[in-house]
A and B are shown apart, each in its own frame.
Chain A
């Protein structure tokens, strides 16, 4: 099946580059190459070789069983550079809040760039947007959310992640449920759990449902320095009617029993067909293409329903060879673009820290981490990001020329310093193709890069750096 698809030229009707007949339709446009581009934060020689060795299904399975992938070097780096990630709130609250934030962001960038569990890291990005929390509002609580909600369930079941999120101190604080009490209703979380986390804005609920759901969530708050706590004194024990679901009144003496009002509604929401649809739509949009078809959404949603929201099973339904061959291109977000450039040019063992990349360049590129204020997560739309090309071009120049130890390009990948005379436009283009595209670089781009290199009478490392920067800056590289 896989072999047949690889040997078969893609259906021209589905070819997103059909208006560009000069583009290669070999390797680059195969289902396997498209899969590698979508499950990683940037194609590398190693990743492409692995994909060809394991085949389509084998490669996807490999990434969907992330815990089996040996990742010791990355884990060691994180352990050394971000020791606070496992800490309880009691150990974090009194620190200068920039310290836990720096450790969280730097380790997230490092893992996303250099972990071998690439799809796992892409899913962390996806779910961190789905359950977006702005760091500044919740500070150290975000570390627990990243660990116990996102990373814990990223390849598990969606209902478990949603439940963890509903109990997450960071989420309760971010969406103000800590202030949602019997006498002083606050609707913020009740609205967003429906609109953004489960059924979507067109799910069919009303403003009255939002208020009634908010009543169910009264008393869900925090204790101590940031641990989940249900406070019966803040709970409204009266009867609620949420979206046709009657939540019967309880005696005020029921105490912690009152928590079941919202637990019941969470169960209702995860089983709602609109949740299956909305979560499937978002996964398809993030991993496949901007405007998935109703058929594609229905196919993934049926997997959600059958498997109880099993994320790996849904991913298999998103990333089918058919879907990939038919997919229209996606424009990389700045984060993905930066990570790809890092993977193509840096040697992980030589990257001591990622501070400049995380704290200066991501904001310049427009996607400062965990700083998206509204709860809908960073936009996943080409038109939002399209205008930021100049920042990408300048970042490409930075990463190929800087002498900083955290981003010093591994020139040996592209340039033979021992025998400089052996470097030719062809050897450099081949090296760029290998390290930026896993060898599957479109012919038109190859020709343009070769032309830039051949425009001067002698080869130089300086011009080679410019050629790499231009390739990273190219339209081809910036579209998935």
Chain B
């Protein structure tokens, strides 16, 4: 919702947003349990909850690049001449070229295109890890299957129908017991990654989340809705109770007035606004411990143009927003630690197609960012030249690192959850040294 929609909504309470301070003063009375007791889903295995991980667990920000992001443009293997052979019109020039579009060297083999330049400071600070040749080991080039399987954390298994991050949250105690909201998707719908999470909601704009209509009957109407929805069925029943609790909580937070730290300026894009709101919620310290965001525009079958056109624009949006988030929440240091993970469903063909684009491939680049990430490097596994015999189906960067290796290590070491068998059922991750021990 943009600001000009307030009048139409008659959302008078949007005008009486108060500071976080007043929320903290009254939070005893506004705790999520005031209206409803939530029930854990039936599938939740019995686990022993630690008293608290507070201070030792990171908040996780999960970002999905929807559409199959071309890893060979996100992080360019300029050291391999075959990259240039396969892409006569859409390759990023070598760092030693004189082109304005030349790659920015990350090491002596890989580089960022100019579109990713806003992430160079995070990389140089050692907070950003690039994982190359990562992805889903299950061979599918369907967007929907691949996204679905990555979000669920297991491919082709009908018994797994919740998201990996949802299961993580369901098997850990809340960072704050009274939290009415543990996880959000910054969107109109809950991402599958978070499916199954207790107290998770889609909130497109946390600054404008309130019930409209007359202020004099608002409490009465909310109570009525709570009663009526209280006997509905899931998933809507739980979502309604979470929504009612969250309305009360967010009414008392001044998300719109959030001031980023450290001079960070978020770009005015969907992801920029989403990460700015995420930072506000994280710093409000209200118990939000997982945020999911999507950014689309990666399905570059035509006119991909990672130098100056479409993909350059999408990468600039990504790196601009993430760079600002790094500056705001990670570079400066926080009382609350944050880890960011960025995944896409697959990469794209090594060779460009006839429309200056690339068709669906396999391995791609993923990213992890945080003070607890062992970054400042491009992690690969048995990286080989892009000659046909080394490629998956003779056309694609193979998946040499299962995306779950990266996520599982973060779940265990940064999110303090040892239940990896529940978060990634049937998978034994390879621990690749993605995280640092707690400082």
Which residues does A use to contact B, with CB under 8 Å? 16-17, 19-20, 22, 176, 179, 181, 183-188, 191, 195, 201, 207, 210, 329, 331, 356, 360, 364-366, 373-374, 376, 379, 382-391, 393-394, 397-398, 401-402, 444-445, 448, 452, 455, 462-463, 466, 469-470, 473-476, 478-479
**Complex contact B301–A389 (CB within 8 A):** no
Evaluate contact between B5 and A364: CB separation under 8 angstroms.
yes
Q: Which of A187, A201, A388 contacts B202 (CB 8 A)?
A: A388
Are A475 and B213 interface neighbours, CB within 8 A?
Answer: no
Output the nearest chain A residue to B141 by Cβ-Cβ distance. A207
Query: Which of B67, B143, B195 is A383 in contact with, Cβ under 8 Å?
Result: B195
Query: Is B229 close to A, CB under 8 A?
Result: yes
| Contact (Cβ within 8 A) A176 B393 | no
Whether, in the assembled complex, B373 has its beta carbon less than 8 Å from a beta carbon of chain A, the answer is no
B355/A207 in contact, CB under 8 A: no
Q: How distant is A159 from chain B, measured CB to nearest CB, in Å? A: 23
Chain A residue contacts of B357, Cβ below 8 A: 179, 186
Q: Which of A184, A473, A476 contacts B355 (CB 8 A)?
A: A184
Over the window 371-410 of chain B, the binary record of Cβ atoms lying under 8 Å from chain A Cβ atoms (1 yes, 0 no) is: 0000000000000000000000100000000000000000
Chain B contributes a number of interface residues (CB within 8 A of A) equal to 64
Residue of B with least CB distance to A385: B189
- B262: interface (CB < 8 Å): no
B211 partner residues in chain A, CB cutoff 8 A? 390, 393-394, 397
Given contacts A387-B200, A390-B243, A463-B217, 19 further A-B contacts (CB under 8 A): A19-B233, A183-B354, A186-B354, A188-B359, A191-B141, A364-B1, A374-B67, A382-B235, A384-B189, A384-B190, A387-B190, A389-B229, A389-B240, A390-B247, A401-B213, A455-B220, A473-B225, A474-B225, A475-B240
Q: Which residue of B lies closest to A195 (CB)?
A: B142
Is there an interface contact between B236 and A389, defined as CB atoms closer than 8 Å? Answer: yes
Known contacts A386-B236, A389-B240; is-contact A186 B225 (Cβ 8 Å): no
B301-A466 in contact (CB<8A): no
Contact residues of A: prevailing secondary structure: helix
Are A476 and B228 in contact, with the CB atoms below 8 A?
yes
Does B239 sit within 8 A of A, measured CB to CB? yes
Residue contact B243 to A389, C-beta cutoff 8 Å: yes
Q: Are A478 and B10 in contact (CB under 8 A)?
A: no
B85 contacts across to A, CB distance below 8 A = none
Point out the residues of chain A lying under 8 angstroms from B296, CB to CB: 373
Q: B residues 227-247 with Cβ under 8 Å of A?
A: 227-229, 231-240, 242-243, 247
Query: Closest residue of chain B to A364, judged by CB?
Result: B1
Q: Are A386 and B239 in contact (CB under 8 A)?
A: yes
Residues from chain A with a CB closer than 8 A to the CB of B360 are 187, 191
Dominant SS at the B interface? loop
Q: A366-B188, A387-B243, A389-B239 are in contact. Are A475 and B228 (CB under 8 A)?
A: yes
Interface residue ranges, B against A (CB under 8 Å): 1, 5, 8-11, 66-67, 139-145, 185, 188-190, 192, 195, 200-204, 209-214, 217, 220-221, 224-225, 227-229, 231-240, 242-243, 247, 296, 299, 301-302, 353-355, 357, 359-360, 393
Contact with A374, one of B143, B210, B212, B235 (Cβ below 8 angstroms): B143
- Assess whether A479 is in contact with B9, with CB atoms less than 8 Å apart: no
Chain A: minimal CB distance from B247 (Å): 7
A460 to chain B, nearest CB (A): 11
Complexed CA–CA distance, A364 and B8 (Å): 12
Known contacts A188-B359, A331-B236, A387-B243: A444-B189 contact under CB 8 Å: no
Given A388-B202, A397-B213: A186 and B8 within 8 A (CB)? no
19 A-B pairs in the complex with CB atoms less than 8 angstroms apart:
A16-B233, A179-B353, A181-B354, A186-B301, A186-B353, A201-B142, A360-B8, A379-B189, A386-B235, A389-B236, A390-B210, A397-B211, A398-B212, A401-B10, A448-B228, A462-B214, A469-B213, A475-B232, A476-B228
Provide the residues of chain B in CB contact with A398, threshold 8 Å.
8-10, 212
- Cβ of A185: which chain B residues have Cβ within 8 Å of it? 353-354, 359
Q: What are the nearest 4 A-B pairs in CB distance?
A: A184-B354, A366-B188, A475-B232, A387-B202
Q: Which residues does chain B contribute within 8 Å of A463, judged by CB atoms?
A: 217
B355 touches A387 (CB 8 A): no
How far does the alpha carbon of A476 sit from the alpha carbon of B192 in the complex, in Å? 25
B142 contacts A191, C-beta separation under 8 Å: yes
Q: What's the nearest-Cβ distance from chain B to residue A185, in Å?
A: 7
Q: Are A179 and B231 in contact (CB under 8 A)?
A: no
Question: Given that A374-B66, A388-B189, A394-B212 are contacting pairs, would A179 and B301 also be in contact in the complex, using a CB cutoff of 8 Å?
Answer: yes
Q: Which residues of A sit under 8 angstroms from B393, Cβ to Cβ?
A: 207
Would you call A470 and B142 a contact (CB within 8 A)? no
- Asked whether, in the complex, the Cβ of B229 is within 8 Å of the Cβ of A475, the reply is yes
Distance of A364 Cα from B357 Cα, bound (Å): 33
Q: B355 contacts A186, CB within 8 Å?
A: yes
Q: How far is the CB of A17 from chain B (nearest CB, A)?
A: 8
